[in-house]
Structure 1
Amino acid sequence: MNKDNIIPSMTHPYGMCWQQPPTYLILIDDTHAVMSRLDFEILMDYTRSQPSALYNGKMWKAQYEDEGTLKWFLCYCFNENEKTNEIDIAYREILIID
């Protein structure tokens, strides 16, 4: 597992107002994020946009076309660099377990 497969803790003060499931309930590998339907429903949907505030640990879902099929993806921020005001965003296809 590489460092991109670890969702960092959300420590930014804005995170106090952001609703998302606990990271320990989501299993992530290089291509997928496995979660319950309830956790999927908790994630904010940014299919047609992107959250305005981005910081480590922030997660959301978005639907994108992949190989001709619409699929849901978990998006999350990591590697925040406050000096350069840059952040990485990882995308993993969501698999829902009930």
Structure 2
Amino acid sequence: MTDDIDRLIGAAPCDDFRLNDLHADVWRRIEQQQTERRLGQVRMAALAMALVVGAANGGLFALTRPAAPSEIQVFSLASASSPLLRVEAGQ
């Protein structure tokens, strides 16, 4: 059996050209993954900051008093003058 392995290894073509750039390719992929990880951390930080600002803004808005109704309400509903009131009342 060892004779078959030795024969197969001896008959295999030499592929040194594919291994020449292996070291550089490995480091390039490591740097790429580190860059992606850093971008993910920046995205999470931005999302957390947006959440904090939104919650603070909403909390401050909830604490403010609602505006008093104006005496002049141009766009208020006058239900007594609505044409639907006559239809519902059967007039």
TM-score scaled to structure 2, two decimals? 0.15
Higher relative contact order, chain-length normalized (CA < 8 Å, sep 6+): 1
Structure label with greater radius of gyration? 2
As a proportion of its length, which structure holds more strand?
1
TM-score normalized by structure 1? Answer: 0.14
